[in-house]
Amino acid sequence: EAQVTQNPRYLITVTGKKLTVTCSQNMNHEYMSWYRQDPGLGLRQIYYSMNVEVTDKGDVPEGYKVSRKEKRNFPLILESPSPNQTSLYFCASSLSWDRASYEQYFGPGTRLTVT
Amino acid sequence: AQSVTQLGSHVSVSEGALVLLRCNYSSSVPPYLFWYVQYPNQGLQLLLKYTTGATLVKGINGFEAEFKKSETSFHLTKPSAHMSDAAEYFCAVSDQGYSTLTFGKGTMLLVSP
């Protein structure tokens, strides 16, 4: 089944403790992206990747890191999480970065709470 | 920069009534336009999209949307609401060249019996 998977689905952590949220897709997609969803703000893009080893900042990149060493994986790293990073995070992928008409497929989401 | 405005954070309808969710965008050139739906505790699912061609686009679950360039709008409609339509709906736009999406803030659709 074609899908985007994220792990963990739920995470409660403390301020400053490094964490990684994994994202993997099995559709051989070039483009991958991370979003955060907050009430009343919709989805905002954190980082995106147009292909392996090519990443760029989205609208709200502060406090996050990403890497794209393999085409299928796009982990989101929080080196020193803070309470304002408490949010619902979505990973998404699309066939190609240069064809905006291609549908983005979303993972199920990761609910992160930082205390 | 692109922006998307969804009018109304919450819309309430009765089962069987018309659903109308509004979306306006700002863009110097016609973008690609999308509607996504998010059911509780789930990810986003594409309802429909407009790229080129016919301006009335039909999607899944009986939804459709019409691209009106003169009004910079892409409103989502469904003739008859069903209880299962209760969800949050997001309008999104992208430049024709790139896959980056800009989302609206979402509209929660509430359907009462």
pLDDT digits (tens, 9 = 90+) for B70-95: 999 999 999 999 999 999 999 998 87
The two three-digit tokens of residue B106, written as one number: 């979402």
- Inform me whether the pLDDT recorded for B63 exceeds 90: yes
How far is B38 from B75, CA to CA, in rounded Å?
A: 17
Encoded tokens for A77 = 């790293």
**Confidence category of residue B3, pLDDT binned at 50, 70, 90:** confident
Interchain proximity B95–A104, CB inside 8 Å: no
Q: What is the pLDDT confidence band of residue B106, given thresholds at 50, 70 and 90?
A: very high
* Range B91-111 average pLDDT: 85
Q: Phi and psi (nearest 5°) for A61?
A: -85, -10
Closest partner residue to B43 (CB to CB) among A31, A101, A107 is A107
Q: Two tokens at B34?
A: 């999308």
Question: What residues in A contact B9, CB-CB < 8 Å?
Answer: 40
Q: How confident is the model at residue B41 (pLDDT cuts 50, 70, 90)?
A: confident
Res B61 pLDDT > 70: yes
Q: How far is CA B107 from the centre of its chain?
A: 9
Compute the distance between CA of residue A25 and CA of residue A95 in angstroms, rounded to an integer: 11
Tokens 């989805």 — which residue? Answer: A43
Residues of chain B with pLDDT > 70: what percent?
93
Q: What is the mean pLDDT of chain A?
A: 93
Asked whether the beta carbons of A44 and A102 are under 8 A apart, the reply is no
A-to-B residue pairs, Cβ atoms closer than 8 angstroms = 65
- Residue A84 CB neighbours (<10 A): 10
Share of chain A above pLDDT 90, in %: 81
What integer pLDDT is reported at residue B36 of this predicted model?
A: 96
Q: Do B90 and A43 touch (CB under 8 A)?
A: yes
Would you state the pLDDT for residue A102? 75
- The pLDDT, as a whole number, for residue A46 is 96
Which segment of A97-106, B3-12, B78-87 scores lowest on mean pLDDT?
A97-106
Q: What confidence category does residue B31 fall into, taking pLDDT thresholds of 50, 70 and 90? A: confident
Cβ-defined contact of B99 to A90 (cutoff 8 Å): no
Q: What is the mean pLDDT of chain B?
A: 91
Q: What is the mean pLDDT of residues A54-77?
A: 96
Strands A42-51, A54-57: pairing kind: antiparallel
pLDDT confidence band for B99 (50 / 70 / 90): low
A23 within 8 A of A76, measured Cβ to Cβ: yes
pLDDT band at B28 (very low <50, low <70, confident <90, very high): low
pLDDT in tens, A24-57: 999 999 999 999 999 888 899 999 998 999 999 9
Task: Name residue B35's beta-bridge partners.
Answer: B48, B91
Closest CA to A74 of A97, A92, A100: A92
Q: What is the pLDDT of residue A96?
A: 81
Nearest to B98 among A4, A97, A108 (CB): A97
